[in-house]
């Protein structure tokens, strides 16, 4: 077994749109989608960390250690709430940008 992890293979690059303005808009949509993916992955990680913290707190109930763990949990919850708000904002921006583009031009998003 190899100790190095292989990067998942990326699909071949997308053909650029003939119109430079439309291509720039499509690139922005792709960029926003990637940002959403990263933020959602961070939300998933925060959720896992929060569950771990809560399990630790249950196992150590009544100890002074739980005070610091409770602060960590609160910080994670605040960060998660902020990330969720950012994801919603990004989804709204994506929807707005997609709504401004012609359907034929949107087909270029998924073309290879």
8 occurs within a structural domain = no
CA distance 11 to 17: 17
Q: What is the pLDDT of residue 10?
A: 74
7 occurs within a structural domain = no
What's the predicted TM-score (pTM) here? 0.79
4 occurs within a structural domain = no
The parts of the chain modelled with pLDDT lower than 50 are 1
Please say whether the beta carbons of 111 and 64 come within 8 A: no
What's the total number of domains in the chain?
1
Q: What is the pLDDT of residue 2?
A: 56
- Summarised one tens digit per residue, pLDDT across range 96-112 is 999 999 888 888 777 65
Q: What is the pLDDT of residue 109?
A: 78
Q: Domain of residue 68: give its range.
A: 20-110
């Amino acid at each position: 077994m190899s100790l190095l992890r292989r990067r998942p293979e990326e699909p071949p690059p997308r053909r650029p749109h003939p119109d430079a303005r439309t291509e720039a808009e499509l690139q922005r949509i792709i960029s926003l989608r990637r940002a959403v993916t990263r933020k959602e992955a961070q939300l998933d990680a925060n959720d896992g960390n929060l569950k771990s913290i809560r399990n630790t707190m249950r196992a150590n109930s009544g100890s002074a250690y739980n005070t610091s763990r409770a602060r960590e949990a609160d910080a994670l919850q605040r960060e998660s709430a902020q990330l969720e708000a950012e994801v919603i904002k990004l989804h709204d921006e994506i929807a707005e940008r997609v709504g401004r583009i012609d359907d034929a031009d949107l087909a270029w998003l998924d073309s290879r």
